[in-house]
Amino acid sequence: MAETRVRWWHLPLRIVIVLAVVALCLTGWFSWSVQASRLPDRIPMTGNMMDNMTGDMTGHNMQHSQQNDVSVTSLVGPQSGEPNERFTLVAQEAQMRLSSGATVNAWTFNGQLPGPELRVHQGDLVEVKLINKLPKEGVTLHWHGLDVPNAEDGVAGVTQNAVQPGESFTYRFVVKNQPGTYWYHSHQASQEAVEKGLFGALIVLPRDDSFTGKDIPVLAHSWPTKEGSYQQAFDTFDTLKRLAVQPGTPVRLRLINTDSLPINFVLSGTSFKVIAIDGTDLHAPTELTRQRLLVAAGGRYDIQFTMPDTTVSLDWLQKSSKVGLLLSRDGTGNAPALADGPVFNPATYGSPQQTPFSLSSHFDKEFSLVLDDMYGFYDGKMASLWPINGKVFPNTPMLMVHEGDLVKVSFVNRSWMDHPMHLHGHHMLVLSYNGRPVTGSPWWVDTLNVAPGESYEVAFRADNPGIWMDHCHNLNHAAAGMILHLAYEGVSSPFEVGPGTVNQPE
């Protein structure tokens, strides 16, 4: 009689074997995923046009430049002529102190934090010489919001090679008809470079500047301190900054968000107008009180008011500490009660005005971009990823256009974080917000905060040939792949990004 005996250790042995196989498979999958996610050593930055009237989006990898292409290196500003304004910016390390006494191991321009304020006039020929005296890191200069010729745009690996220590690079461009508030920053390893201080205000004044009041740029930034904390500050004031302003004086505050997250500003003690967004004046702005101004990371709001007899304060709303600017006749006095309120909505503010195109225009190209989040592998590491249409750079779409195209882009944010989408070299007209047409002033942006659940339609004229970054200005997201490019047919770039090159734009 056959005896079937199940030995007591058979079942545990089977379990152990199954677990071992599963563990082996998981380990194999894990190491394969890590390897597969590594960025190629060299990623070319050239677009490939596949003509398609509805707009074609192709990935970054399989592009080939044509022999008769125009190189981005030829798309320069005027190479001759005496500049109206000439600046030299020297990138160098420096230990800097915030107003609280906290120390920042900073990367500065000219030993200043933020970098020197550059004031120019519309129409000026501007020449800026960048000298890199950092010990190890490359540097570039990007003119955030200024629509300069492509070769002057300062993006490492796209429009130039990162300027190495000991090297210099000269930018020359004519400032277009864009009076307003901008900023400049390095676009090489920008996540770290901007955080550590390689940025400054860039103010374009109108030719016939008649403003005689107080003009105050406010650069809102979180500084990484030596002690390991992040200190929110206006410029380097992480404590209350006091200014004396005579009652009756017109005051223009230029709010510049140089951080990676949106900032909520509140102005208290007076009514005010939002007179410009991202360097473009708003039409017929009206008086506001009790509004929260949400400025996109990289974005700018200009606000104006007449100084009252009493104190006025500007606050950066946040949980941890109170950072503010206090204005009064002699700089003393207590801050007024905080005039917080609903979030200001540019889509319904001011009055409409003629625009070169609108929702009812015929668009030559239409692109739809879905911003998302996922967890996965990127460049050999497990990380939070911020895909566009399900892909991270370099597999994100390439927006291909012809010069002259009218282009519509829709953004939908399905992720849980804000994405301040920044297009280089062009200004986008916001057409609709959450499916509703914009009913207020024409609203032009170069950096549009797309909050979770929000959708926007924007449009721009493709009138500045080149290869342009279009990316999230939460620079941590950009560094995790939330980058794409707008590329003109027939333009190619000899530059490359990637670990095997000197260029890491983010």
CA 148/CA 429 separation, integer angstroms: 18
What is 9-32 written as a DSSP string?
THHHHHHHHHHHHHHHHHHHHHHH
CB of 418 to Cu ion, least distance (A): 7
With 0-12 / 13-18 / 19 or more C-beta atoms within 10 angstroms meaning exposed / middle / buried, residue 126 is buried
CB of 455 to Cu ion, least distance (A): 15
User: Which amino acid is it at 70?
Assistant: V
Name which of 104 and 383 has its Cβ closer to Cu ion.
383
What pairing do the DSSP bridges indicate for beta strands 483-488 and 398-401?
parallel
CB of 28 to Cu ion, least distance (A): 32
Q: How many helices (H) and strands (E) does the chain have?
A: 3, 37
Residues in touch with Cu ion (CB under 5 A): 419, 472, 474, 477, 482
Name which of 260 and 270 has its Cβ closer to Cu ion.
260
CB of 477 to Cu ion, least distance (A): 3
Nearest to 262 by CA among 468, 450, 458, 63: 450
CB of 189 to Cu ion, least distance (A): 17
Q: Are the C-beta atoms of 361 and 404 separated by less than 8 Å?
A: no
CB of 503 to Cu ion, least distance (A): 21
What is 208-223 written as a DSSP string?
T----SEEEEEEEEEE
What's the length of the chain? 506
Q: Are the C-beta atoms of 493 and 46 separated by less than 8 Å?
A: yes
Name which of 146 and 472 has its Cβ closer to Cu ion.
472
CB of 478 to Cu ion, least distance (A): 7
Name which of 418 and 496 has its Cβ closer to Cu ion.
418
Name which of 92 and 476 has its Cβ closer to Cu ion.
476
CA 425/CA 470 separation, integer angstroms: 9
CA 328/CA 302 separation, integer angstroms: 20
Name which of 162 and 472 has its Cβ closer to Cu ion.
472
Q: Are the C-beta atoms of 367 and 398 separated by less than 8 Å?
A: no
CB of 449 to Cu ion, least distance (A): 10
CB of 419 to Cu ion, least distance (A): 3
Name which of 411 and 488 has its Cβ closer to Cu ion.
411
Q: Is the four-CA dihedral 102, 103, 104, 110 of positive or negative sign? A: positive
What pairing do the DSSP bridges indicate for beta strands 241-244 and 323-328?
parallel
Name which of 132 and 474 has its Cβ closer to Cu ion.
474
Tokens of 315: 């606050």
Give me the helices (H) in 280-378, please: none
Name which of 254 and 424 has its Cβ closer to Cu ion.
424
